Every structure is written in structure tokens, then in C-alpha cells.
Amino acid sequence: MRISRVRLFVLRQSLLHSFETSSHRKSGIEHILVELTDADGRTGWGEIASPSDPYFGAETTATAWEIATRYLLPAVLGREFDRPEQLEEGWSRIRGHEFAKAGFSGAVWDLYARATGVALASALGGDRDEVVAGVSLGIEPSIDDLLRQVDVQRAAGYGRVKLKIAPGWDVEPVHAVRGAHPDLDLHVDANGAYSDDEESAGVFARLDREGLTMIEQPFAPRDLVSHAALQARIGTDVCLDESIVALGDLQTMLRLRAGRVLNIKVSRMGGLSVARAAHDIAVDAGMPVWCGGMHEFGIGRAANVAISSLPGFLLPSDVSGSDKYYASDIIDPPIVAVDGRVRVPRSTGIGHEVLVESIERGASRSFDSAGARASEQEPTPVGLRRE
């Protein structure tokens, strides 16, 4: 196969319900979509799911656009490849920028799966027909508001709920949710908001008594020593997210015993190939994994469903139905969860039709390697309706 054309689109969608973490609140999501076309006219799609602001990590939509157009596009355009890993070698010299790489990786894998006539899940080695989905809830204005949101998601069939926490919004809301839902698979995510001090030690000691499935990323990404110390003194599993970017980070986590659970985010780790390798290392170490999300649109969400079909994904993943976040999606059919489970497509590629015209109409910025055309325009306010 040979890549003959690359197109990029910046697309924004409004969230149905605003979402707050320990760092900021957002009401909409802006991602970059990647379309790769091969010499035979087949296309593959990927999603650069970097946040717009540098709070989760250093990458933003703006930096991802620069890396994509200036470095990644030349690395793939005109390249011959038989396997996705071969094409990914073309950008191996680029340090960092995992979100940008992940968007291209997803498109390469989708194209490869379509060209070989298999589902993306099968191409990755997945063997499940469905995956268990969980939902993530942000910080709400009040505990009553949070409880209402939990009730809504439980009524929708989700058995696992993750709560975002931050200093001042931790023990009380968690205790309230646990009291209202004693049988709920419940875990918390701090996004690195805490310091390893006496006050935080008291918070985590109290959370340790709430029967949580895990406490995710309590400390800063590089502070694996503090994570190891916390894991040694509490019974609840510590899960790492932002700390694990490269496979070497995972090896360090295992060596230090800095946690017992791994959140594999395809975007954070630079794509499907690296995510699959992390899964294999974790399986060999006896560590359960799950797939985290970045509020992906349908393209990135479909890739997450595919990787979640691998056997080591033993915990519910952030692959909830698109309708939880968006009024409509850019794939058909949209991703749907029934009783907290999402079907793994068995048709070729990501298993969904990409609504190209809706993307073209709604994009605020685009790039086309055919003639190296770049454009910026006011997006058509169509709400990305399904056609």
C-alpha cells in the first residue's frame, strides 16, 4: 500500500453536559480528524483527540495541527507499507506529540484493516464480541447535582462510574455516591491534582474506606515515587494514567510497584501499536488494564472499542455511547451502549461509515495534500446531523 493523499479537519462539537475536572471546565470539544487515502482509493480515518488547552498534557489542538502538517504528513505521504508499524517508523524520530501521532496511527490501522478486509478489532488481535463500558462524571455544582447524574447513568445501564475529584471535592461527594449506590463499581480520578503531603494522606485514607475499584492518578505524572508510597499504604488499587506515556514508563511503574492498574489511552501513548504493546506487557505482568477516553468523537471512540476487545482489558473502559456526550455523531451507526455494553463491529476497518460530508461542512479548518491546500472557514451550524 502507498499513501497518496492526506486530509486534515478541525472539528468542534458541543457537549450535552459541561464537564469539569480538577483543572478546568469545558462545554465543547475540538479535535482534528485525519483521512489517509491509498493509491487504490481506499481511505482510513483517525482522530487527534488532544485537548484545546494544555491542562491534561503539553499538547493542544494548535500544536497537534503544526506537528501534523509540518512533520507527520511528510512522513507518510508517498510511503509504501505492508503493516501499520512500518508506516509508523516514519515518524519515530519525532519526540513526544503522542496525540498527533495517535491520530495518524488510527488512520493507518483503519486503512490497513479495510485493505485486508478485516475488522480493526481483529487486526489488533481482539477476540471479544462486546466490551463493557463505563462512564466518567465531572465535578458538579453540588452533591445533589452529582447524585442526579449518577442516577441518570445507572438508569441507562452503566454499572461503572468514575468520578472526577479535586482538593475540596473528594471525600464528601464520594461518600454520598457510595451511600446512594452501595453496589456500584465506583472509582475516582484526580488527574494529578494532589500533593504528597499530610493533608492528602488523610484524604486518601478516608477514600480507602469507600470500597473504590481504584484511585486514578492522584499525583503529578512524573511522581511515580509518591504513587508507589501511596499504593504501599492503602488497600485500594492505584491506577496510573498521565504517568504512562512510553513503554519505559510502564516498566518503571511495574518495577516501583507504583500502582496495580493501568489506564491505556490510545491518544496518550501515541497510537494503537504502542497501546497494544502496553497491553501485552501488562498482561505478562498480571496487571489488569482498561481503555480511557478523551471525549472522542465517533472515529476515535470506534478505535477505543476495537482495542478494548483485547483479552487483557479486564475492567470497564471509557467507551460509553456517543449519545452520552453529543447530540449526534460523525459516524453511522453511532456507538451505542446497551445495558452498559458496546458491540464490537465485525465489518472492515472501524466498522462504521464516516460521514465525510458532515465533517467537510462542519470543519473550521482543513488541509489537503492534493495541491497542499489549507483553508479556514466558518463551520456550517448544522450540528453534525446524521445524513
Question: Which residues does the annotation mark as catalytic?
Answer: 164, 265
Quick check: helix, strand or coil at residue 316?
coil
Contact call for residues 301 and 322 (beta carbons, < 8 A) = yes
Taking CA 313 as the corner, what is the angle to CA 245 and CA 122, rounded to the nearest 5 degrees?
A: 95
Contact call for residues 22 and 165 (beta carbons, < 8 A) = yes
Quick check: helix, strand or coil at residue 281?
helix
Q: Could you write out the DSSP letters of every residue in 258-276?
A: --SEEEE-HHHHTSHHHHH
How far is 183 from 90, CA to CA, in rounded Å? 48
How far is 102 from 107, CA to CA, in rounded Å? 9
How far is 97 from 110, CA to CA, in rounded Å? 20
The alpha carbon dihedral of 13, 14, 16, 22 has a sign of: positive
Helices 298-307 and 272-285, packing angle to 10 deg? 30
Closest to 362 (Cα-Cα) out of 29, 36, 100: 29
Query: Which residues are 130's β-sheet partners?
Result: 343
Query: Which residues are 32's β-sheet partners?
Result: 10, 48
